[in-house]
Amino acid sequence: MEPTMSYALELRCRSCGKTFALAPQAGCDECFAPLEVHYDLERAQRELRPETFRSRPANMWRYRELLPLPALPAGAISTTQLQIGWTPLQPAPRLARVLGVRELYIKNDAVNFPTLSFKDRVVAVALENAQAFGMKTVACSSTGNLANAVAAQAAALGLQAFIFTPADLEPAKIAATLVYGARLVQITGNYDQVNRLCGEIAQNLPWGIVNVNLRPFYAEGSKTVGYEIAEQLGWELPDALVCPMAGGSLITKIHKSFQELRQLGWARNATQIHGAQATGCSPIATAFKRDQREIEPQKPQTIARSLAIGDPADGSFALDAIRASEGACEDASDGEITQAMRLLAETEGIFAETAGGVTVACAQKLLRQGRIRAQARLVLVITGNGLKTLDAITPALPEPVRLPPRYRAFEDYLSTFATATPADPVLV
């Protein structure tokens, strides 16, 4: 890859505007609000053209100027060597027909590299910065996907990883953390308790905790979902987008990416940004529906464990993004989540995890309510892979048929399809 030339300037407090150097820091020392990376976008506008990206490799690093990417110490392995991002934006005509929308696309991060979720993007930016800051040990608090991404990339870079999760993580997400040699620490508590513990660890140890003291850098990685959608649509923004929310960072950063593209003059149209949560953990959607500014923390109870964050760090910023873009929020019950996972798989051949079920089910509700227009060009952000949450979907699936290895038995089985004739699809 060519040397990095990032337009990142400084960290800025999202609340009071105080500025800080690009260094590890969890939040503002004056008002404790989250920090955000700021860029010299005027210079970027003078020097960069959208066509610049066309000839670059198909991964998230094609937008490197718009990410905080510092120079690395000699001998470090860069995450920019990893082929992360540029996941498919798949047209979804069969699902569009069922949902009743004119033009539908799936942004499919269920097939992201290396660990099959959008978290690979955020971790890559965080670990690049961790290495630049001289950190040898990285860590995270996680509902599962972040655990997998940190464990895998730490292994690839030769860093030590400690992963902190609630004790009730899905079996696939546990295995897909341990296999990389990461130390998995299961805490007997919910995610919000795990996260508070990681806040204390960050104050006591010189570690890079990707979603605590590296959070401003980590969060920027999510912007690449938005840049890719825009470029894949020929530098046009969709009319509407539905995104799942846990801590509320991804949706906030997709909104930021679209704003930056408008500021750069590369895209013009407005996008309504809609947020999706599980009913059993819906602090952001509830605040939206009650027209409140404050988020009231909840105790999560949902099969969508990757979204089970009861006290979302970026909840109020997610609300701001949704309201500013004239979007809305919805939530989906466990039954609606599994039904929507099946619908996405059966119509488009995409097996998403529970968070994807949340997104599809909420999109269906928003369309029924007219919050998303039937004439819209709509993008659904699918963020994780169904093979990681088999325990959630398996009880909702039919039993497979079991037969002896004889044609007669198969013929008998076929005859149970009452309407089956030689013209039926089941027989051709």
Which residue lies nearer to ligand PLP by CB, 246 or 261? 246
- Could you say which residues in the range 384-423 bind ligand PLP, by CB under 6 A? 384
Q: Is residue 192 part of the contact set for ligand PLP (CB under 6 A)?
A: no
Q: Is residue 16 part of the contact set for Zn ion (CB under 5 A)?
A: yes
Q: Is residue 249 part of the contact set for ligand PLP (CB under 6 A)?
A: yes
| Residue type at position 335 | G
- Could you say which residues in the range 274-293 bind ligand PLP, by CB under 6 A? none
Question: What's the rounded Cα separation, in Å, for the pair 271 and 379?
Answer: 10
Q: Using the structure block, give the residue that is written with the tokens 């690979």.
A: 120
166: three-class secondary structure by DSSP: strand
Contact residues for 151 (Cβ-Cβ < 8 A; gap 6+):
115, 161, 163, 176, 177, 178, 179, 180, 181, 182, 184
The residue range among 7-15, 139-147, 182-190, 408-416 that interacts with ligand PLP, by the rule CB under 6 A, is 139-147
Residue 247's binding partner, choosing from Zn ion, ligand PLP, none, with beta-carbon cut-off 5 to 8 A by kind? ligand PLP
Question: What's the rounded Cα separation, in Å, for the pair 263 and 325?
Answer: 15
H or E segment at 394? none
Q: Is residue 29 part of the contact set for Zn ion (CB under 5 A)?
A: no
Binding residue for ligand PLP, selected from 28, 210, 230, 245, defined by CB under 6 A: 245
The residue range among 14-22, 98-106, 169-177, 324-332 that interacts with Zn ion, by the rule CB under 5 A, is 14-22
Which residue lies nearer to ligand PLP by CB, 117 or 302? 117
Residue 241's binding partner, choosing from ligand PLP, Zn ion, none, with beta-carbon cut-off 5 to 8 A by kind? none
Burial class (CB in 10 A: 0-12, 13-18, 19+), 417: exposed
**C-alpha neighbours within 13 Å on the C-beta side of residue 423:** 0
Q: At closest approach, how far in Å is the CB of 388 from ligand PLP?
A: 8
The residue range among 28-36, 89-97, 235-243, 366-374 that interacts with Zn ion, by the rule CB under 5 A, is 28-36
Q: At closest approach, how far in Å is the CB of 246 from ligand PLP?
A: 3
Question: What's the rounded Cα separation, in Å, for the pair 275 and 330?
Answer: 7
Binding residue for ligand PLP, selected from 353, 371, 389, 392, defined by CB under 6 A: 353
Q: Is residue 383 part of the contact set for ligand PLP (CB under 6 A)?
A: yes
Which residue lies nearer to ligand PLP by CB, 4 or 121? 121
Which residue lies nearer to ligand PLP by CB, 198 or 250? 250
Q: Is residue 221 part of the contact set for ligand PLP (CB under 6 A)?
A: no
Adjacent-strand bridge partners of 242: 274, 380
Do you find a cis peptide bond into 283, omega within 30 degrees of 0? no
Which residue lies nearer to Zn ion by CB, 11 or 337? 11
E-assigned strands of 167-271? 183-187, 208-209, 240-244
Burial class (CB in 10 A: 0-12, 13-18, 19+), 82: buried
Q: At closest approach, how far in Å is the CB of 144 from ligand PLP?
A: 6
E-assigned strands of 344-419? 377-382
Question: What's the rounded Cα separation, in Å, for the pair 237 and 320?
Answer: 19
For the chain, the 3-state helix, strand and coil shares in percent, each to the nearest 5, are: 45, 15, 40
Binding residue for Zn ion, selected from 1, 5, 23, 30, defined by CB under 5 A: 30
Which residue lies nearer to ligand PLP by CB, 4 or 190? 190
The residue count for binding ligand PLP (CB under 6 A) is 18
Which residue lies nearer to ligand PLP by CB, 228 or 353? 353
E-assigned strands of 221-311? 240-244, 272-278
Residue 327's binding partner, choosing from Zn ion, ligand PLP, none, with beta-carbon cut-off 5 to 8 A by kind? none
Contact residues for 126 (Cβ-Cβ < 8 A; gap 6+):
138, 208, 210, 211, 214, 217, 218, 221
Q: Is residue 28 part of the contact set for Zn ion (CB under 5 A)?
A: yes
Which residue lies nearer to ligand PLP by CB, 238 or 248? 248
Q: Point out which residues bind Zn ion (CB under 5 A).
A: 13, 15-16, 18, 28, 30-31, 33
Positions in the binding site for ligand PLP (CB under 6 A): 117, 119, 143, 145-146, 244-250, 306-307, 353, 355, 383-384
